[in-house]
């Protein structure tokens, strides 16, 4: 088999001691960057680019890619421990991961996210090795109309995550959509809801909202508990490792999450985030204990964590085969390729097989390195929870503040985060979920833009949304997702009645 | 707009590139002089930074002008020219970065890298800050702007494209990358104007950036894109895109086979330029210092390498010429934006 020969050759490149060292370095840096909120993999790779200039291209790209997928491993840690996702792709992990930590299962949550990441990362590299070339054209089939229907599907899935009260979930989601409209409108160039503040022209950044709603709100309620003398230290219950039961429940979510993540990753644009939403809603839909989601279900950690890691392998498909980056991070990786005078695309596979396959092989090794690196860290990270609350809260605030300021160097955003902290605290008091707000903020802008792009292209003909098979099947799936909560109880009653009679 | 006035506006620009080339020749011959100056103890009444300089960019790390700033910073550090840090101040299409620097009146330690947004933001009424509120420092080069379609497209030449616009300006979907009323948008607007169509009727679609626009062109979702040639050249090399033309005054070194709009008989000249700005009230000594720094930087092999690898076109104008250049660009942008109906009343 051709791909197999190439891969073997790739391993001979990746296994050179120097390249092994770069894989390790990249994975280590990625983990650290993933753990800290704020500086994401895209900025980290960009900042490191000038330093790697003298290094041999293959080694350098092996390291930079290690940072990219390594950050996906680290991203879950703060979600689980302090309820602060560092990337939009770890918002879903926070829902059940943090709940697990509150009930003393932080060790298990961290362990399953490392294992899910490893399995998903490895499988997605296998898929990348086998399918990269055949899948190349898939990413191009998605135009604005297809994206809009995909986002619609993702949003309907978010609406299904709203927990016990649909009204509260929708409130949170619509607020998120409203915040998403702030800033200069791309299609008309006009300002919307900016109150003439230049700081608002580019909209409200994800990291600002997430730090406010999750981290700062957490600090406020921690403060309240402390003042009321209710603050209790979380005791670890059971071992740090997974129980047999937890293992059993995680296997299928990991496999399903991997599939969803890889194929969503192939499509450019918010791949990892949408993949986590889809994976979470699939797990919730298939579960017999739907109501318990959000209270510490390990399926809700295993699935999304697998999905966001698998998407990194998927995202390499359009990058390597077409030279089309699917995300901020892969765009910087593309810049790195070009800096070395390498043009990703079909020709790259022919011209530099050593580099492409060496890089792919290094991703197998990198995933192993990350597992070995992250599992022992579980023991270290859970000890964070033993830090007295009076020390932990100021630490969370200062790390978050540095994270926000480091991105854009903008003090206004710190105040904005504080404002969202207040909103988050109020939401918590009223039992309104915050995840729909964050996710609709990330997806809402893209959803609106793709809607209007499609309408401009079609000359204001809405028929554009039912013209391709992809659009039609996504629309059908959205209708299905919305109707299940209504139809399912009805069906159950219909089935139950004859039985009772 | 009368075609003649368009002509007369174009001429000084051509003249200025010629002047630039003369200037570059002069600089090359002045290398020896520069060398002897740098070995001299210090320039007589010259100004020198007394601490680390802040090089302010409005892109996020990794974005277009951030890459250029980081290349400059590294050249300055390696050649011990200036001690600088790159500061990313993202927001308002550059307005936050410009405002930040403009507030450091008289302080030569703050410079910002500027692109056409400094002109169009104010003309569109998004900010009151103009380049007149700042000190114009040297011009350091441009990126050619190219018009491209996918290989399968029935549009084979710039003439085919122009014919379609002449018959019906709304018959093609075109992406100017991420911003309307930008240099990229101006290229198509000027082309529409040249064939007697109303630029306001153009069907422009914006995307998150050049890469996203390229994906949509390759997938056949839109007809064409007009943006920094960097976005199209790789796809042209792999045989998936056709570049119909570039809007530079002359052909680009990075794609010698691609004709200019002017060669094809369309009077369209628009470049994506890079100019440095400092706060208002800089002393002549400070301006001279930066003129000297950039003149020396442009001659380093590292900068030449950067220019070649990023498909830039080499160009340099010292502060005085750059200020005149900005004035012309401002007038031109005002005229095109007025045609596009994108001009804020009273600007």
Confidence bin at B3 (pLDDT 50/70/90): very low
Q: How far is A453 from chain B (nearest CA, A)?
A: 6
Q: Indicate the number of domains in chain A.
A: 1
Is the fold of B3-143+271-340 the same as that of B145-246? yes
- pLDDT category of residue B62 using cuts at 50, 70 and 90: low
Q: How far does the CA of residue B280 sit from the closest CA of chain A (Å)? A: 20
User: CB A324 to CB B99 under 8 A?
Assistant: no
Backbone angles phi, psi at A218, to 5 degrees: -60, -40
User: Does any domain span residue A500?
Assistant: no
Residue A408 is nearest to which of B88, B234, B237, comparing CB atoms?
B88
DSSP characters over A373-389: HHHHHHHHHHGGGGS-H
Residue-wise pLDDT tens digits, A375-408: 888 888 888 777 777 787 788 788 778 878 876 7
The alpha carbon dihedral of A56, A57, A58, A62 has a sign of positive
User: Could you give the CA distance from residue A281 to residue A303 in angstroms, rounded to a whole number?
Assistant: 10
Residue ranges of B 248-287 with Cβ closer than 8 A to chain A: none
Euclidean distance between CA atoms A225 and A220, whole angstroms: 9
Tell me the backbone φ, ψ of residue A86, rounded to 5 degrees. Answer: -85, -25
User: Least CB-CB distance to B62: which of A42, A201, A449?
Assistant: A42
Question: A409, B178: Cβ pair inside 8 Å?
Answer: no
Question: How far does the CA of residue A263 sit from the closest CA of chain B (Å)?
Answer: 17
The 3-class secondary structure across A234-288, one letter per residue, is: CCCCCCCCCCHHHHHHHHHHHHHHHHHHHHHHHCCCCHHHHHHHHHHHHHHHHCC
Q: What's the CATH code, domain B145-246?
A: 3.40.190.10
Task: Label residue B239 left, alpha or beta by phi (over 0 means left) and psi (-120 to 50 means alpha).
Answer: left
Is the pLDDT assigned to residue B38 strictly greater than 80?
no
| Measured distance CA(A301)–CA(A112) in Å, rounded | 7
**A499, part of any domain:** no
The residues pairing with B146 across neighbouring beta strands, listed in sequence order, are B227, B246
Instruction: Pick the closest to residue B258 from B223, B232, B225, B219 (CA basis).
Output: B232
Residue B119's pLDDT is 93
Cβ proximity of A276 and A304 under 8 Å: yes
DSSP-derived pairing of the beta strands B145-150 and B53-57: unpaired
Please list, in sequence order, all residues whose beta carbon lies within 8 angstroms of the beta carbon of residue A288, skipping any fewer than 6 positions away: none
Query: In this structure, what token pair is assigned to residue A250?
Result: 């995680």
Residues 6+ apart with CB under 8 A from B122: B128, B129, B130, B347
CA atoms within 13 A on the CB side of B17: 16
| B179 in contact with A, Cβ within 8 Å | yes
| Whole-Å CA distances, B326 to A85, B180, B288 | 44, 20, 18
DSSP at A104: T
Distance in angstroms (rounded) separating the CA atoms of residues B215 and A330: 14
Q: Is it the case that residue B40 has pLDDT exceeding 90? A: no
Q: How many helices (H) and strands (E) does chain A have?
A: 20, 2
Q: Name the packing angle between helices A435-458 and A91-102 (round to 10°).
A: 170
Burial of A368 (0-12, 13-18, 19+ CB in 10 A): middle
Q: Where do runs of H (alpha helix) occur along chain B?
A: 3-29, 31-39, 64-78, 95-102, 117-123, 158-167, 183-194, 210-218, 233-237, 284-298, 301-309, 319-340
Q: Which region, left, alpha or beta, applies to residue A473 given φ > 0 means left and ψ of -120 to 50 means alpha? A: alpha
Question: Rounded to a whole number, what is the distance in Å from the CA of B187 to chain A's nearest CA?
Answer: 17
Evaluate the CA torsion angle B13, B15, B18, B22 in order and state its sign: negative
Token duo for residue A463 = 């028929």
A 261-290 residues inside an 8 A Cβ radius of B: 268-269
Q: How far is residue A232's CA from residue B145's CA, in Å, rounded to a whole number?
A: 62
In chain B the first and final C-alpha atoms are separated, in Å, by: 17
Q: Does domain B3-143+271-340 correspond to CATH entry 3.40.190.150?
A: yes
pLDDT in tens, B243-292: 999 999 889 888 899 999 999 999 999 988 999 999 999 999 999 999 99
Chain B residue closest in CA terms to A189? B180
Counting as low any pLDDT under 70, the low residues of chain A are 1-2, 37-39, 50, 53, 159-164, 230-238, 268-270, 326, 346, 407, 485, 488, 497-501
Vertex A264 angle, CA A258 and A266, to 5°: 105
Interchain CB distance below 8 Å, A186 and B60? no
- Tell me the residue range of the domain where A179 lies: 2-232+239-485
Poorest-confidence range of A215-219, B1-5, B235-239? B1-5
Instruction: Establish if A32 belongs to a structural domain.
Output: yes
C-alpha B18 chain-centroid distance: 18
Token pair belonging to A317: 């498909």
- Residue A198, chain B, CB below 8 Å: the answer is yes
Place of tokens 């991105």: A407
Please tell me if residue B302 touches chain A, with a CB cutoff of 8 Å: no
Q: What would the pLDDT profile of B103-144 be if each residue is shown by its tens digit?
A: 899 999 999 999 998 999 889 888 889 999 999 999 999 989
Distances (CA, A) of B55 to A228, B39, B64, B67, B289: 49, 26, 15, 12, 15
- The predicted pLDDT at position A498 comes to 61
- Lowest-pLDDT range, A452-466, B29-43, B71-85, B299-313? B29-43
Q: Give me the residue from A139, A142, A341 closest to B309, CB to CB.
A: A341
Q: Assess if residue A298 is contained within a domain.
A: yes
The count of other CB atoms within 10 Å of the CB of residue A264 is: 28
Would residue A369 count as lying in a domain? yes
The pLDDT of residue B29 is above 50: no
In a domain, A492, yes or no: no
The percent of residues above 90 in pLDDT, for chain B, comes to 54
pLDDT at B22: 42
Say if residue B172's pLDDT is above 70. Answer: yes
Residue ranges of domains in chain B: 3-143+271-340, 145-246
What band does B340 get if pLDDT is binned at 50, 70 and 90?
confident
Q: Which two tokens stand for residue A441?
A: 């903020």
Using 50, 70 and 90 to split pLDDT, how confident is the model at B45? low
CB contact under 8 A, B219 and A323: no
Cβ pair A201:B212 closer than 8 A: no
| Structure letter (DSSP) for residue B2 | -
pLDDT tier at B7 (50, 70, 90 boundaries)?
A: very low
């Amino acid at each position: 088999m051709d791909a197999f020969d190439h891969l073997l050759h790739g391993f001979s490149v990746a296994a050179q001691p120097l390249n092994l060292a770069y894989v390790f370095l990249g994975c280590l840096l990625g983990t650290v960057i993933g753990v800290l909120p704020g500086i994401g993999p895209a900025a980290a790779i960009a900042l490191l680019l000038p330093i790697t200039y003298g290094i041999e291209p293959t080694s350098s790209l092996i390291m930079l890619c290690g940072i990219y997928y390594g950050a996906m491993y680290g991203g879950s840690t703060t979600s689980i421990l302090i309820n602060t996702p560092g990337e939009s792709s770890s918002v879903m992990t926070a829902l059940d991961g943090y709940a697990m930590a509150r009930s003393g299962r932080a060790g298990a949550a961290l362990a399953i996210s490392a294992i899910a990441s490893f399995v998903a990362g490895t499988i997605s590299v296998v898929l990348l090795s086998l399918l990269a070339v055949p899948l190349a054209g898939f990413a191009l089939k998605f135009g604005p109309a297809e994206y809009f229907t995909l986002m619609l599907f993702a949003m309907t899935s978010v609406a299904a995550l709203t927990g016990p009260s649909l009204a509260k979930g929708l409130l949170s989601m619509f607020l998120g959509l409203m915040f998403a409209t702030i800033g200069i409108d791309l299609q008309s160039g006009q300002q919307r809801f900016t109150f003439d503040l230049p700081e608002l022209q580019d909209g409200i950044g994800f990291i600002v909202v997430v730090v406010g709603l999750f981290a700062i709100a957490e600090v406020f309620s921690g403060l309240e508990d402390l003042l009321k003398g209710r603050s209790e230290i979380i005791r670890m219950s059971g071992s740090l490792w997974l129980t047999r039961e937890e293992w059993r429940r995680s296997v299928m979510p990991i496999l399903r999450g991997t599939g969803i993540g890889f194929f969503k990753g192939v499509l450019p644009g918010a791949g990892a985030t949408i993949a986590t939403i889809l994976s979470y809603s699939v797990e919730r839909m298939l579960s017999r204990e739907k109501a318990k989601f959000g209270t510490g279900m390990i399926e809700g950690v295993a699935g999304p964590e697998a999905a966001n890691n698998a998407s990194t392998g998927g995202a390499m498909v359009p990058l390597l085969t077409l030279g089309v980056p699917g995300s901020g991070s892969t765009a910087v990786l593309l810049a790195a390729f070009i800096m070395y005078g390498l043009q990703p695309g079909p020709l790259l596979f022919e011209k530099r097989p050593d580099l492409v396959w060496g890089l792919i092989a290094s991703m197998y090794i990198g995933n192993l390195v990350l597992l070995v690196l992250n599992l022992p860290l579980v023991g270290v990270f859970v000890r964070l929870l033993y830090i007295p609350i009076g020390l932990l809260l100021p630490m969370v605030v200062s790390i978050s503040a540095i994270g926000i300021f480091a991105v854009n160097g903008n003090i206004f955003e710190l105040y904005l985060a504080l404002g969202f902290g207040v909103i988050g605290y109020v939401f918590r008091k009223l039992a309104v979920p915050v995840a729909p707000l964050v996710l609709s903020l990330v997806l809402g802008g893209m959803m609106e833009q793709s809607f209007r792009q499609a309408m401009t292209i079609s000359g204001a003909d809405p028929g554009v949304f039912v013209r391709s098979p992809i659009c039609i099947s996504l629309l059908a799936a959205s209708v299905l997702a919305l109707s299940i909560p209504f139809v399912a109880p009805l069906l159950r009653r219909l089935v139950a009645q004859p039985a009772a009679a | 707009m009368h075609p003649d006035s368009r002509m007369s506006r174009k001429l000084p620009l051509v003249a200025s590139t010629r002047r630039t080339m003369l200037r570059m020749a002069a600089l090359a011959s002045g290398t020896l002089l520069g060398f002897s100056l740098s070995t001299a103890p210090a320039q007589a009444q010259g100004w020198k930074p007394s601490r680390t300089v802040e090089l302010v960019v409005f892109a996020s790390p990794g974005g277009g002008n951030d890459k250029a700033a980081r290349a400059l910073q590294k050249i300055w550090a390696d050649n011990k020219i200036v001690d600088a840090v790159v500061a990313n101040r993202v927001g308002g299409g550059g307005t936050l970065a410009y405002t930040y620097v403009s507030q450091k009146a008289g302080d030569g330690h703050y410079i910002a890298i500027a692109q056409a947004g400094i002109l169009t933001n104010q003309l569109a009424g998004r900010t009151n800050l103009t380049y007149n509120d700042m000190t114009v420092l040297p011009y350091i080069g441009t990126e050619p702007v190219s018009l491209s379609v996918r290989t399968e497209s029935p549009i084979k030449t710039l003439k085919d494209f122009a014919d379609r616009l002449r018959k019906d300006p709304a018959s093609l979907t075109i992406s100017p990358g991420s911003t309307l009323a930008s240099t990229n948008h101006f290229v198509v607007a000027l082309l529409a104007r040249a064939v007697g169509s109303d630029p306001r009727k153009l069907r422009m679609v914006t995307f998150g950036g050049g890469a996203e626009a390229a994906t949509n062109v390759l997938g056949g979702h839109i007809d064409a894109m007009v943006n920094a040639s960097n976005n199209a050249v790789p796809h042209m090399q792999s045989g998936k895109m056709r570049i119909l033309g570039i809007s530079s005054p002359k052909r680009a070194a990075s794609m010698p086979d691609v004709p200019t709009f002017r060669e094809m008989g369309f009077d369209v000249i628009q470049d994506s330029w890079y100019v440095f700005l400092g706060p208002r009230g800089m002393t002549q000594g400070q301006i001279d210092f930066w003129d000297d720094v950039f003149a020396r930087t442009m001659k380093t092999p590292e900068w030449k390498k950067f220019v070649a690898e990023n498909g830039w076109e080499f160009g340099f104008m010292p502060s005085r010429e750059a200020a005149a250049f900005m004035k012309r660009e401002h007038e031109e942008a005002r005229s095109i934006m007025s045609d596009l109906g994108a001009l804020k009343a009273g600007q």
